[in-house]
Homo-oligomer: A and B are copies of this chain.
Amino acid sequence: MQDNQHVEVNIPSNPIFERVVRASAAEIGEALDFPEDRIEDLKLAVSEAVTNAIEHGNQNMIHKLVEIVFALDQEKLEVRITDQGSGIGEMILPSEVVMITEQTLDERTGGGFGLSLIKAMVDDCEVQSSNRGTIIILRLYRKGQEQ
């Protein structure tokens, strides 16, 4: 894999197209020779970030776009997911995986897994948010792999 190759995918805010991005992520993981389990991690993280961008960022307004850039280099895969929303109000990246509890079930909440799953699936993640939209950056290092 030569340095700094970018694959870019742009989708309207329709949840059906999250599957397109997820399939692209899987192929890119294959191209980087990621092991199977790591490809599953990548797919899940990308899926959560794109779903958030569609639902929370762009609020399902179909004409608003989600832009996904897969940047590949010798060291890592970086995925940048950008929406055209009005940003994340209060910015708390969960430090632990959110778990299901009796309380979750009683209150029928069952949300809030997205960001915490993303954090658990990738090596490193970063959020930049303003009133012009949110960018979430996921990084998966190619440690221990032939390059």
CB distance B23 to A26 under 8 Å?
yes
Q: Is residue A20 contacting chain B, with contact meaning CB distance below 8 A?
A: yes
Which of these, B16, B23, B31, B62, contacts A24 with CB under 8 Å? B23
Q: Write the chain B residue with the least CB distance to A31.
A: B16
Give chain B residues whose Cβ lies under 8 Å from the Cβ of A118: none
Give chain B residues whose Cβ lies under 8 Å from the Cβ of A5: 12, 14, 17, 62
- Say whether, besides A5-B62, A62-B2, A62-B5, A20 and B24 are in contact (CB < 8 Å): yes
In the complex, A12→B12 CA distance in Å?
22
CB distance A8 to B9 under 8 Å?
yes
Q: What would 24 A/B residue contacts be, using CB atoms closer than 8 Å? A: A2-B62, A5-B12, A5-B62, A6-B10, A7-B9, A7-B11, A7-B12, A7-B20, A8-B10, A9-B9, A9-B10, A9-B24, A17-B31, A19-B27, A19-B31, A20-B24, A20-B27, A20-B28, A20-B31, A23-B23, A23-B24, A23-B26, A23-B27, A24-B24
